[in-house]
Amino acid sequence: MAIQKERVSIPLEGGQAMGGHLARPEGEDQRPGVIVWMEIFEINSHIRDVVEGVAAEGYVALAPDFFHRTGPGVEYGYDDAGMAGGMKLLMKLDADEMISDARAALKSLRGRPDAAGKVGAMGFCIGGHMTYLTACETDVDAAASFYGGGIAAPQGPGGKPSTVGRTGKIKGKILCLFGEEDALIPQAQVDAIRAALSRAGTDHEVVVYPGADHGFFCDQRATYQKEAAEDAWKRVKALFRDRLA
């Protein structure tokens, strides 16, 4: 399937804007939308690959730059320098601003003439957290959170109310994907997320991949695990096919 790609500008309140990478199948047909939330490494080549892979499945896919306040347009690799740069930006995030950005991205995607209305979200690392937060604070139809760090922390980004504490507000189905060997997300936190989803009666699935570490989906990282990545991608495609198509 031929794909169209472009850099876009997402309007924000107060006349500001958030950059993003968008991809969609060629043609005039309307398509469901998918927001792809980036890692701390920004909208780098891996995230662009994911966006274009989602588009190849028949969606209008958008990766917004939610670091636009502190590091707009930067791009990091998977090395020590990239980790250091990304962590500095991560520490400046605020949950209220993240929610505002999620709503703006959703509004922008739904406002496109080539988007059909239903929208899903997916993301990785802090983007996995952003996906969970988006599911809680917007009406996305489906969400796939890959190794979302800090979801079960006592406080959310910027010292705001915890993200897991918002679980009861989720309206669509959520898929949470973790690695068993991920030291950044201990099993106790995964258990807390699973318990919160169960208590809330949320339509959900939580998958923990044996032997997989943080970043198992990214084929540019040393922690890439092919089997886990392929299974996770099958689950994401099935989720979006079921809830968005």
Instruction: Mark whether 204 is an active-site residue.
Output: no
Contacts of 136 (CB under 8 A, 6+ apart): 163, 166, 167, 169, 170
Instruction: Mark whether 125 is an active-site residue.
Output: yes
Place of tokens 């979006």: 240
* Antiparallel, parallel or unpaired: β 17-25 and 3-11: antiparallel
Q: Which of 65, 101, 141, 182 is catalytic?
A: 182
Provide the residue type at 180 as one letter: E
Contacts of 215 (CB under 8 A, 6+ apart): 39, 78, 124, 125, 147, 221, 223, 224
CA distance 49 to 123: 13
> Environment class of residue 13 by beta-carbon count within 10 Å: exposed (0-12), middle (13-18) or buried (19+)?
exposed
Closest CA to 40 of 215, 185, 243: 215
Place of tokens 């996305």: 140
Q: Which of 65, 141, 214, 218 is catalytic?
A: 214
Q: Which of 101, 125, 141, 213 is catalytic?
A: 125
Instruction: Mark whether 203 is an active-site residue.
Output: no
CA distance 150 to 245: 31
Specify whether the CB–CB gap between 178 and 147 falls below 8 A.
yes
Active-site amino acid positions: 125, 182, 214
